[in-house]
Amino acid sequence: MFGRLGAPEIILILVVIILLFGAKKLPDMARSLGKSARILKSEAKAMKDEGSNPAPAGPPSTEEQTPAQRTIQAAPGDVTSARPVSEPTDTTKR
């Protein structure tokens, strides 16, 4: 029943979307979606890199270390949406 979408059905869906959202808002929505996808991709890569780094074998030092700040950017060169992010610290004692 819903298994196959042909060209007429896809064109009808696109026309309905344009009528609902308007032609002026669609480029902004697409740009916003692209930025969100880039942020998600960079965060997933950062989490993967953090997970692959081995933890230090020795006991934790008694000196308190200040966490380094990272800056997340939506797109290369996009300074308007860059914001510093402080990493959460683990305050639990083992």
Number of structural domains the chain divides into: 1
Please say whether the beta carbons of 82 and 69 come within 8 A: no
What would the pLDDT profile of 19-78 be if each residue is shown by its tens digit?
888 888 888 888 999 999 999 999 999 998 887 775 555 555 555 555 566 666 566 655
For residue 80, the 8-state DSSP code is S
**Residue 72 domain flag:** no
Q: Is residue 65 part of a domain?
A: no
Would residue 20 count as lying in a domain? yes
- pTM value is 0.39
Distance, CA of 79 to CA of 32 (rounded, Å):
15
Q: Identify the pLDDT of residue 32.
A: 92
Q: For residue 55, tell me if it sits in a domain.
A: no
The string of pLDDT tens digits covering residues 38-55 is 999 999 999 988 877 755
Distance of CA 69 to the CA centre of its chain: 17
Residue 83 in any domain: the answer is no
* Residue 80 scores a pLDDT above 90: no
Predicted local confidence at residue 4, as pLDDT: 83
